[in-house]
Structure 1
């Protein structure tokens, strides 16, 4: 892993606090755009990552595909054409996406692959350090880290988790709901085999699984040997601090009547159903992403995916501001677009955690919702949100495609066939002329360093998740994160404003 030399001071255009999935994805996006970016990470190596999260949702896979790296993840994971809401499995097989699935892959492998990507792009790492404090001024941020290192940057992004020092030092409020239950999650060795699978009792839900498994016909099949991944409820929701092996042992005995001879923990962590969201994702030159901006129950596996998608939304915008392509006002769209998504994630996580509680009333509600969610319309609506495929940013009225992720259509161009996502590999915006005469503008050609312009003919129907088949536009402006910022319907009306707002370029 590339690490910067140990010095007392260092300067970068952007400093990221935290090298988890969100920080790694954001750093890679910035480096892809040519920004000098550094990560401050307390761990000495990415192999020390735990495995709290265990999957990538459909939209996250699409975004990795947009950068040409999704195959690295698919090669190591297990595909299931569904996503989960509490105990209900929602079918994704009829969603119009090349990645209409959830990929089972533990967080330590996700982080490893994202770290390799960051290394390939030349991201700097200040390891075995953490951000302790910072001071903002008109020209940038001076950041104090542990071990006496002082960093100077134009912007600081807190990707340092739910207890974010960056958020606290910035004074950004973190309103929400306190925990009503707490759970321990760990990977340990056990001398006695536990009952694998998910178990629900009056004391709460507990489970045993293994790191190595495969999905066959929709069922999880665990392989022999290896450590046990255990989740068990705690007696109190008020537990704090780093959990210990003795606390895990006591929780197992209270719930299961035995600790199964547990020993040799790889890692132990604690999570609750607390739900909180930063009041603002930005304070001048300081921004928040991932768990630093929103925390909630892990039910549904939304946390890691929401963080990675935060990074995709923020990365190109921050790069354009740092490089002087766009004004600082572009950063305000990060909060405007991602805060509502985070609020919706909190709502679903709270609902999902509630539905897993074991009492007769909740059981009746769970059964009732299960009957509704086999119907196409409610299933597609909920699965669209949970998978990320149905997200729409509010970019105003217009064609149904506006503000939604661009489908990965097959295209016929003058240079031969291609697909949409392949056009986004280098992280630039794309202006597609699909018959409206929008891509031949001479001024756009002079701006081709920031914008790719081409004429193409789509093959097949134009279909959107949840919405269905729509009338094909005559042109689209696709942002670097894959969302459509302008739709042409027979003319170039509105294109100049869209180019100025999102790309920092002008049509003639």
Structure 2
């Protein structure tokens, strides 16, 4: 019997499997698809964007360089100058409702607790690239993957979960559904899935245009919808505000796609051929809890929304990073009370915020007689330094803050990448998925206490280039600051917080 079964070998399932295996858990992934490769994962249809927050997650596990190279990106283009003292201004920015904003308008001084890091920027990638990097790491860590095994039944009791997949029976202490927006695990385990109905039908396709010059590159908002043409040959996206009424069980014909495109763009553009095509909607739904007994959900299995702004993949990676260490501690028996439940209490609000961000974009884009005036107002507000900075904070993945019950302004946020005098960075200390305590005091005040959690917390001390006025910092395995001392470290305070997150050291 395995410690954990994960349904779904997509990026979220693979990232979670690696987190668990890194902590010594035995992990089995059940994947419904027979093959790992697919035209839907490769470019152009598999095009996705990693936010700076997701790049940071790969960096902290020693995978950033491999991820950048697999994406065709120079790793130097996603990080700060290694000798920099101050963090650079962001170079990249997402859009809002198809409105492209200028990163030069971001007020970098309004972005708190940033230090130069090898992971300062997001970058474009593909599902194929993400899958290849994570699959290679999973194989190295001993994760087992069974393909061609769709989950068809789930049972659970006080001790274990039973899973029927591909006609075979499997058992584990825990099951995590990472099996996408139409999650079988979510349905079979009885999770409540609530939200709002769609306003549009979206399409993504790889086509051959008779004359691609008829369609400008980029996001193009019109009086009837939106279309997107990227530099990738034949890559087309569309949003048709039909109330989501298109019958998605019907085949997507060339005539249908051409009719929709002509209506939206207002030209007689011709599609010579449709190679691949799929439809989606902006239905925004979320489970009410991310855990039912011994079954948990992550990624699109827990929340779905329109792909506007490219938040889905990144939201799922955030789920995996948050859940992995908590579930591992539970498996190994040293998790303090309530640790696993904090997965829902921390990640559910983040997911709800992304759903609302998606809904706001759809409302801004919805055609109607008042739509041009609303769009212009939003465009004007978003193009101000405050507006542009707000969009960056909402979409970069670096500035979420969990409510951990502390008034210290850094607690609950992603930790800055502190750099010691010998060049060692916080990110270097997190490759094994442990917590980290950074002790900046001259007398190593926390060294003795930190040793009690050996194997769970890694201790590092010394002077750093910029300590942000802090005396010590305790960082969870997911990179979130659990405790920070602004003066000489208080050992009793440190021990209290360490017990809260890492359990009794005697367990």
Distance 2:359 2:135 in 1: 31
Report how far residue 504 of structure 1 moved. 2.0
Describe how 1:265-414 pairs up with structure 2 within 5 A: 265=276, 268-327=277-336, 329-412=338-421
Which residue among 33, 43, 68 is the counterpart of 2:62?
A: 68
Report how far residue 360 of structure 1 moved. 4.8
Distance 2:52 2:413 in 1: 14
**Number of the residue aligned with 1:469:** none
**Number of the residue aligned with 2:172:** 153
Describe how 1:174-323 pairs up with structure 2 within 5 A: 174-190=193-209, 193=212, 195-197=215-217, 198-211=219-232, 226-231=233-238, 233=240, 235=242, 237-241=244-248, 244-246=251-253, 249-256=255-262, 257-265=268-276, 268-323=277-332
Report how far residue 188 of structure 1 moved. 3.6
**Number of the residue aligned with 2:484:** 487
**Number of the residue aligned with 2:94:** 83
SS of alignment partner, residue 430 of structure 1? strand
Select the structure that is richer in strand: 1
Contact 2:12 2:298 in 1 (8 A): yes
RMSD of the TM alignment (CA)?
2.4
**Number of the residue aligned with 1:114:** 134
Q: How many residues align?
A: 467
Distance 2:208 2:386 in 1: 44
SS of alignment partner, residue 411 of structure 1? coil
Contact 1:163 1:292 in 2 (8 A): yes
Change beyond 3 A, Cα 1:45–1:234: farther
Distance 1:314 1:30 in 2: 9
Q: Residues 455-497 of structure 1, C-alpha deviation per residue, up to 9 Å, x if partnerless? A: 12221363xxxxxxxxx22111100110011112332342222
Report how far residue 260 of structure 1 moved. 1.3
SS of alignment partner, residue 19 of structure 1? coil
* Segments ≥4 residues shifted beyond 6 Å: none
Distance 2:250 2:23 in 1: 40
Contact 2:449 2:491 in 1 (8 A): no
SS of alignment partner, residue 491 of structure 2? coil
SS of alignment partner, residue 420 of structure 2? strand
Change beyond 3 A, Cα 1:261–1:480: same
SS of alignment partner, residue 400 of structure 2? coil
Q: Residues 374-410 of structure 1, C-alpha deviation per residue, up to 9 Å, x if partnerless? A: 3334433332121111100000132111111101121
Q: Residues 216-260 of structure 1, C-alpha deviation per residue, up to 9 Å, x if partnerless? A: xxxxxxxxxx553443537561335456341x5313223324541
Structure 2: gaps (5+ residues): 78-90, 263-267
Change beyond 3 A, Cα 1:206–1:376: closer
Contact 2:323 2:343 in 1 (8 A): yes
Distance 1:73 1:191 in 2: 36
Report the TM-score when normalising by structure 1. 0.86
Report the TM-score when normalising by structure 2. 0.86
Is the aligned partner of 1:57 residue 2:51? yes
Contact 1:81 1:102 in 2 (8 A): yes
SS of alignment partner, residue 62 of structure 2? coil
Q: Residues 243-278 of structure 1, C-alpha deviation per residue, up to 9 Å, x if partnerless? A: 6341x531322332454111432xx32221111111
Contact 1:53 1:301 in 2 (8 A): no
Q: Residues 405-451 of structure 1, C-alpha deviation per residue, up to 9 Å, x if partnerless? A: 10112123xxx331111111111100111118565443532432221
Change beyond 3 A, Cα 1:319–1:90: farther
Contact 1:436 1:492 in 2 (8 A): no
Distance 1:397 1:237 in 2: 44
Structure 1: gaps (5+ residues): 1-10, 212-225, 463-471
Distance 2:327 2:394 in 1: 26
Distance 2:381 2:243 in 1: 34
**Number of the residue aligned with 1:215:** none
Report how far residue 62 of structure 1 moved. 0.7
Contact 1:30 1:316 in 2 (8 A): yes
